[in-house]
Structure 1
Amino acid sequence: MRSYYDLISHEGNRSLFTAIELSIASQVNRIPLHFHVEGLRGTGKTTIIRAARHILPPILRIKNCCYNCRPEAPHCPEHKGLSPEEIIRLGTELVPRPFLEISHSAKIGTVVGSIDLGKIIDSRHSVAALLPGTVPRAHRGIIFIDEINRLADTSPELVDVLLDMMGTKPGRVQIEETGLPTVELPVTASIWAASNPDEDPGPLQQIRKQLSDRFDLRVQMERPLQSQTVRRILMQPRQKDILGVKSRELAVSDMKNVVFPSDILDVLAAIYIDFEIESIRAVEALELSATLLALRNGRKTVTLDDVADVVPLVFGHRLDPVTIERIQQYVKRLALQNGWEADTADHPGNPVMAERSKEKNSWLKRLWQSACKKFSNGNGSPASSGKTREQGEGQSLEGPSARPAATEMVAPPKQAIPLEQLPSDQLVSVDSEP
């Protein structure tokens, strides 16, 4: 298995790395974040996901608990209700965070749980007991499902289990066997899924839209576009230190230290109403993902830029590309407006406003440099001829053309681009002489 940190990141797969790291950070903070990556076969989806298991931070559980009970909050049938003193006597252990897979051949009993036949046929002490399946054993960890579109098409009973598990946070699983009492367990596990949408039976959102909506993020995996990137990928197996090396654990901070401003919460509410978003899960995922992105980037306050960056991931499987672009541009415009209306002097302790002030000053500097280049007389400063073009033609600045009411209004040939988004060479333009 290749080391996660040695895998080649490029423009086509960068979003997958982001989704993985956001989901791990969320899981460590006890909130599952589910993502689904779609892309052509052979682009490395499964390779990257399976390599990520080695960067998962470990968990502390009650010793030998197959349900991964937290020592401070046991939940399984065996340990639920025990006193702190009893848990201390049982002991605790640090184990790798669960990373389990559900295959297409899986049965409902292996995924949810079933009767433990080994304990029933034990001649010395026969007892009826449950054998936990993949879902309850993955508590506090990750479940990976490859080609989930095929699973959704062929195993509707397994999809129903996933819907129940992913419907709330934390989720739940219910184990039912004849002759035994029904057991319901909370499950905090993140679902990572992959699929090839161009192969039968097609994209997940067309097969089971309800399941597709359960995923917080949808990642579009693309092939590398530069030959140099392909060359680096081909060189990987020749590196002696890349196989058999365990990657370092992903460093994750406490999400409670990140502030989500109330005015940005208002923006999310406006997006839900104004763009007629169907699922409330979408804006909940937007809030969670923006918070995790700020956490990942080492900031303590969520910004509108964080929201804009995760918009394509959150809405990729929920909205059409045009609407996603409109939402992203809407958030970016608000971010620029907020930055221009505030100044660092007014907010000396606000790093976000300080960064916005830098952007403003940088844009003004580009504008001045562009103006100097267009009108310079050779010494780098704007040239002055003493008369404007209109004055040189004998027209007065007080003439009819200076009065708005007398000016003919003509619509522009295409939608205007905000000045701050223009390339430097287009900031200033000069009409050619007739």
Structure 2
Amino acid sequence: MTQAQPSNHSDRRQPAQIKVPTYPFTAIIGQEEMKLALILNVIDPRIGGVMIMGDRGTGKSTTVRALAELLPEVPSVADCPFGCHPEKTSEMCPSCRERMAEGEALPITYRKTRVVDLPLGATEDRVCGTIDIQKALAEGVKAFEPGLLAQANRGFLYVDEVNLLDDHLVDVLLDSAASGVNVVEREGISIRHPARFVLVGSGNPEEGELRPQLLDRFGLHAQIRTLRDAQKRVAIIRSRSDFDNDPESFIEKFHAPQAELQAKISRAKEILGDVTIGDEVLLKIAQLCIDLEIDGHRGELVLARTAKALAAFEGRTEVCDDDVARIAVLGLRHRLRKDPLATMDNGRRVQEKVAQIFGVEKAGA
């Protein structure tokens, strides 16, 4: 097969973008489980993304966009359609790697972390990319037209109502998220490009569940519910009203906590490689998965990675029992076998087993 070259649209004039104010992440009230799951995936994308299930109107998409806005700008190759990192050769597309090998100085720009939405009606070509037929007819060359996976590289890919998406398409997304690479083969042309993103799926369980085989491949599973505390609901109304009336003043009020959280995440990413997890903790993780009859070994791997990310987030370089206890429900509730006769939900089952093995009174995110 011949290697296709991606279409380059960098020379086209783009209309000026109007910046829409984003609700501050630290101003979001409640939903701590969802917020922690997203933060930990930013610290270590190898965790495998987040599945967020819960009621409508609980701020799922608002939270994802707020976190992306919080993150610092990242260096990118200015004329690369995949936004490759200008210094990490192993994560570059073939074109950028070849240019660097030839001694070319890659143009660098800084951009905000992207949140790419995947619409329910999207086709596989739209998601993965396809041959630019128009260019093939006009110029007699075959060029690759990047898809949503290319746009999401080094950012977030957000899929609302993922439980209504075609299973095959969900499988494609999970494959790319796990490997960090998207491979497209069409008409004798093959192209590979980096597709490293945090996959965030959300949905309402009333509209149907994902098949267990697909659900298991999401790293973490966060459940969100409508708040039943009247005072918190009033606080949400007031905060949203203040933001809508004067976004700039509202955002300025949260400048300090936003900067503090940004620094905390950046520091966690720096020290993540130094975080260790002892054999004693690993044995407890393994026993937890055995006692809960978790199939495969994905559960242990996710718990270990997530616990290390949490320790880094807390500024520590060694995982303790409490780290695992805090994230166990997030990492395992969706991996338990369904029992139609069970009298408690899966989260509670995980909590009780964690309390036995780790000796903590309460477990959970």
TM-score w.r.t. structure 2 length?
0.79
1:326 aligns to 2:352 (yes or no) = yes
Greater strand content: 2
Q: Secondary structure at the match of 1:114?
A: strand
- The residue aligned with 2:15 is none
Q: For residues 309-348 of structure 1, what are the structure 2 equivalents within 5 Å?
A: 309-319=326-336, 320-333=346-359
- Change over 3 Å in CA distance of 1:223–1:185 after alignment to 2: same
Please list the CA deviations of residues 40-66 of structure 1 after superposition, one character each: whole Å capped at 9, or x if unmatched: 112222222232221133222222111
Give, in angstroms, the shift of residue 140 of structure 1: 1.7
Q: Which runs of 5+ in 2 are unaligned?
A: 1-20, 337-345
Between 1 and 2, higher relative CO (CA 8 Å, sep ≥ 6) is seen in: 2
Give, in angstroms, the shift of residue 324 of structure 1: 0.7
Please list the CA deviations of residues 230-258 of structure 1 after superposition, one character each: whole Å capped at 9, or x if unmatched: 11111123324436959756232221132
1:48 aligns to 2:63 (yes or no) = yes
Higher Rg? 1
- The residue aligned with 1:396 is none
Q: What letter is aligned with 1:190?
A: V
Give, in angstroms, the shift of residue 292 of structure 1: 1.1
Q: Which residue among 20, 23, 39 is the counterpart of 2:41? A: 23
Q: Distance in 1 between matches of 2:36 and 2:107?
A: 36
Count of matched residue positions in the alignment of Structure 1 and Structure 2: 317
Q: Distance in 2 between matches of 1:32 and 1:274?
A: 22
Q: Distance in 1 between matches of 2:234 and 2:176?
A: 42
**Cα pair 2:157 2:200 within 8 Å, conserved:** yes
Give, in angstroms, the shift of residue 109 of structure 1: 0.9
Q: Which residue among 167, 181, 203 is the counterpart of 1:172? A: 181
Identical-residue share of aligned pairs (%): 28
- Change over 3 Å in CA distance of 1:259–1:140 after alignment to 2: same
**Cα pair 1:308 1:331 within 8 Å, conserved:** no
TM-score w.r.t. structure 1 length?
0.67
Q: Distance in 1 between matches of 2:334 and 2:82?
A: 32
- Change over 3 Å in CA distance of 1:87–1:33 after alignment to 2: farther
Q: Secondary structure at the match of 1:142?
A: strand
- The residue aligned with 2:247 is 242
- The residue aligned with 1:4 is 24
- The residue aligned with 1:301 is 318
- The residue aligned with 1:103 is 119
1:203 aligns to 2:209 (yes or no) = yes
Q: Which residue among 153, 158, 161 is the counterpart of 1:147? A: 161
**Cα pair 2:159 2:200 within 8 Å, conserved:** yes
Greater helix content: 2
Q: Which runs of 5+ in 1 are unaligned?
A: 336-419, 422-434
Q: For residues 42-81 of structure 1, what are the structure 2 equivalents within 5 Å?
A: 42-71=57-86, 72-73=88-89, 75-81=92-98
Q: Distance in 1 between matches of 2:79 and 2:321?
A: 45
Please list the CA deviations of residues 64-83 of structure 1 after superposition, one character each: whole Å capped at 9, or x if unmatched: 11112222315323223344
Q: Distance in 1 between matches of 2:25 and 2:114?
A: 20
- The residue aligned with 1:34 is 49
Give, in angstroms, the shift of residue 228 of structure 1: 0.8
- The residue aligned with 1:403 is none
- Change over 3 Å in CA distance of 1:36–1:87 after alignment to 2: farther
- The residue aligned with 1:271 is 288
- Change over 3 Å in CA distance of 1:330–1:87 after alignment to 2: farther
- Change over 3 Å in CA distance of 1:329–1:81 after alignment to 2: same
Q: Distance in 1 between matches of 2:184 and 2:63?
A: 32
- Change over 3 Å in CA distance of 1:87–1:62 after alignment to 2: farther
**Cα pair 2:311 2:317 within 8 Å, conserved:** yes
